[in-house]
Amino acid sequence: MVELDRLRTRGDAEGEARSPVHLILLSFLMLFVELGLIRWSGSYVVYLSFFTNFVLLASFLGVGVGFLRARATGDLFRHVPLLLLAFVTFLAVFPVGGGRVDGELRFVAGFGWPPLPKWLSLGVVFVLSFLLMAGIAEGVGRVFVRFRPLEAYRWDIVGSLLGIGAFSALAFLRTPPILWGLIATGLYVIVAGRPRVSQAVAIVSTLAILAVLSFAPNTQWSPYYRVTTRASGDHVAISVNGRPHQRIMPLAFLEEHQAFRFEPYRHAPDASLGDVLIVGAGSGNDVAIALSRGAARVDAVEIDPSLYRLGRDRHPDRPYQDPRVDVWIEDGRAFLHDSDRTYDLVLYAIPDSLTVLAGQSSLRLESYLLTKEAMREVRDHLKPDGVLAMYHYYLPPVVDRYADALTDVFGERPCLELAPGSGSRPRTVLTVSVRPDGLVCERRWSRPATVPSAVTDDHPFAYLVGRGIPAFYQVTLLAILLGSVIAVRLTAGPFGAMRPFVDLFFMGAAFLLLETSNVVRFALLFGTTWFVNALVFAGILASVFLAIEVARRVRFRRPASLYVALFATLAIAWAIPPGSLLGLDPVPRFVVAVALGFGPVFIANLVFADRFRDVSASGIAFGTNLLGAIGGGILEYGALVVGYRALLIVVALLYALAFVTGRSPLRAGTTEVVPAEA
Instruction: Lowest mean pLDDT of 92-96, 360-364, 577-581, name the range.
Output: 360-364
By the 8 A CB rule, do 350 and 280 touch?
yes
Residue 388 clears pLDDT 70, i.e. is over it: yes
Q: Sorting pLDDT into bands at 50, 70 and 90, what band is 499?
A: confident
- The percent of residues above 70 in pLDDT, for the chain, comes to 91
pLDDT of residue 142: 92
Smallest CA-to-CA distance from 361 within 4, 672, 587, 56 is with 56
- Residue 601 is predicted with a pLDDT of 94
Least trusted range by pLDDT, from 113-117, 466-470, 621-625: 466-470
Q: Which is nearest to 336 in space by CA: 518, 520, 527, 521?
A: 527
DSSP state of 45: B
> Residue 106 in 3-state DSSP?
strand
Higher pLDDT among residues 334 and 99, named by residue: 334
247, 366 Cβ separation under 8 angstroms: no
Residue 447: CB atoms within 10 A of its CB come to: 11
Sheet arrangement for strand 219-221: 219-221, 226-232, 235-240, 243-248
Poorest-confidence range of 185-189, 353-357, 389-393, 643-647?
353-357
Task: Decide: residue 208, CB within 10 A, 0-12 exposed, 13-18 middle, 19+ buried.
Answer: middle
Distance, in Å, from the CA atom of 527 to the CA atom of 518, rounded to the nearest integer, reads: 13
Reference 191, options 20, 37, 74; nearest CA is 20
Q: What is the pLDDT of residues 523-568, one digit of tens each?
A: 888 887 777 888 888 889 899 999 999 988 888 777 788 999 999 9
The pLDDT of 73-88, averaged and rounded, is 92
Compute the distance between CA of residue 534 and CA of residue 553 in angstroms, rounded to an integer.
Answer: 29
Position 672 confidence tier, pLDDT thresholds 50, 70, 90? very low
Q: How far apart are CA 274 and CA 289, in angstroms?
A: 14
Residue 3 in this model has a pLDDT that exceeds 70: no
Looking at per-residue pLDDT, the higher value among 43 and 675 belongs to: 43
The CA distance from 556 to 560, in Å, is 9
388 alpha carbon, distance to own chain's centre = 29
Please report which confidence band the pLDDT of residue 664 belongs to, taking 50, 70 and 90 as the band edges: low
Burial of 449 (0-12, 13-18, 19+ CB in 10 A): exposed
> Are β-strands 235-240 and 325-329 bridged in parallel, bridged antiparallel, or unpaired?
unpaired
The pLDDT value given to residue 424: 65
Name which residue leads in pLDDT, 208 or 426: 208
Task: Please state which CATH class domain 468-678 belongs to.
Answer: mainly alpha
In the CATH scheme, what is the homologous superfamily, with its name and number, of domain 250-352+372-438? Vaccinia Virus protein VP39 (3.40.50.150)
Lowest mean pLDDT among 11-25, 244-258, 493-507, 644-658: 11-25
Q: Average of pLDDT values for 645-651?
A: 94
Tens digit of each residue's pLDDT (9 = 90 or more) over 147-204:
988 899 999 999 999 999 999 899 888 899 999 999 999 999 999 988 999 999 999 9
- Which secondary structure element, helix H or strand E, spans residue 527, and what is its range? none
Amino acid at 461: F
Backbone angles phi, psi at 330, to 5 degrees: -165, 160
Residue 508 has what pLDDT?
A: 93
Q: How confident is the model at residue 104 (pLDDT cuts 50, 70, 90)?
A: low
pLDDT confidence of residue 546:
93
Considering 12-21, 52-61, 120-129, 585-594, the range whose residues carry the highest mean pLDDT is 120-129
* CA 402 – CA 452 distance, rounded (Å): 9
Residue 313 has pLDDT above 50, yes or no: yes
pLDDT of residue 12: 43
pLDDT at 357: 41
Give the residue ranges of DSSP H helices in 101-148: 118-144
Is the separation of the CB atoms in 594 and 546 below 8 Å?
no
Q: Which of 43-47, 55-59, 267-271, 281-285 has the lowest mean pLDDT?
A: 267-271
Which residue, among 555, 566, 565, has the nearest Cα to 654 in the 3D structure?
Answer: 566
pTM of the model: 0.86
Contacts of residue 36, Cβ cutoff 8 Å, sequence gap at least 6: 167, 177, 180, 184
C-alpha distances in Å from residue 25, one per residue of 66, 140, 161, 195, 549: 16, 9, 11, 17, 20
Cα of 95 vs its chain's centroid, Å: 21
pLDDT value of residue 678:
35
| pLDDT at res. 392 | 84
Mean pLDDT of 134-141: 94
Mean pLDDT value of segment 261-272: 78
* Mean local confidence (pLDDT), 622-633: 89
Given pLDDT bands bounded at 50, 70 and 90, which one contains residue 474? confident
What is the rounded distance in angstroms from the CA atom of residue 41 to the CA atom of residue 86? 13
pLDDT of residue 279: 93
247 strand-pairing partners: 237
Give the Å distances, CA to CA, from 440 to 295, 380, 386, 481: 21, 22, 14, 55
Alpha helices in 285-370 (DSSP H): 285-292, 305-314, 332-337
- Give me the torsion for CA of 279, 282, 284, 290, rounded to 10°: -10
- Residue-range domain boundaries for the chain: 18-221, 250-352+372-438, 468-678
- What's residue 423's pLDDT? 60
pLDDT of residue 362: 61
Q: What contacts 235, CB < 8 A, 6 or more positions away?
A: 247, 248, 249, 250, 253
Task: Report how far residue 512's alpha carbon sits from residue 510's, in angstroms, rounded to the nearest whole number.
Answer: 6
Q: To which H or E segment does residue 648 belong?
A: helix 647-661
Q: Residue 220 — pLDDT band, cuts 50, 70, 90? A: very high
How confident is the model at residue 19, as a pLDDT?
80
Lowest mean pLDDT segment, chosen from 408-412, 467-471, 563-567: 467-471
Closest CA to 451 of 500, 513, 496, 408: 408
Q: Count CA atoms closer than 13 A to 565's CA, side-chain side.
A: 15
Q: pLDDT by residue (tens digit) across 314-357? A: 999 999 999 999 999 998 888 998 899 999 999 998 876 554 44
State the DSSP code for 197: H
